[in-house]
Structure 1
Amino acid sequence: MNKLLFCRYNMDTNRVEARFTDDSAVSIDCTAIEDEYGNSPAQRAELDWLLYNKPLEYAQLVLGGEIEHYLSLGCDHGRLED
């Protein structure tokens, strides 16, 4: 997979739209991700925080298969702060 170039959260469709360096694109259904991995209110809140504040990191975690591991570490979005 090519490097992610751009991501944005689209509130109207509840999707993260990602574009890659090769100009391909993907749209991530956030409702499906939340239904699959948001097993607690804290996890759902963490997913929402990522959507609004770090959509690129959200996309990288989902596409890289790391979202479940990220959420299992405990919901502390400060881990992604620089």
Structure 2
Amino acid sequence: MFYGRKISIDCTGVEDALDVTMAQQTELDYLIYNDPLGYADLILNGDPEEYLKNAAGSHGLEDL
């Protein structure tokens, strides 16, 4: 039998701590809805500030 772990990320708290721009917020929203595991990995294991500095707008969402 597999016993997994469940985590909960306070997305608003993360975003408030990062002081994100509108373009960066769009990038985080994209991850949350289209790649939630990627979002969790970024927040738990990555460098979200560096990621957002380089990736904001990379999905063409900045034109919306």
Same fold, judged at TM 0.5 (above):
yes
The aligned counterpart of 2:54 is 73
More strand by share: 1
* Runs of 5+ unmatched residues, structure 1: 1-20
More helix by share: 2
SS in 1 for 2:7: strand
The number of aligned residues is 58
What is the TM-score normalised by the length of structure 2? Answer: 0.75
Q: Report % sequence identity.
A: 47
How big is each residue's C-alpha offset from its partner over 1:8-67, in whole Å with a ceiling of 9 and x where there is no partner? xxxxxxxxxxxxx75122100010111122421000111111101000100000000321
RMSD across aligned C-alpha pairs, in angstroms? 2.0
Whose relative contact order is higher, 1 or 2, with alpha carbons under 8 Å and at least 6 apart?
Answer: 2
> Rg larger in 1 or in 2?
2
SS in 2 for 1:39: coil
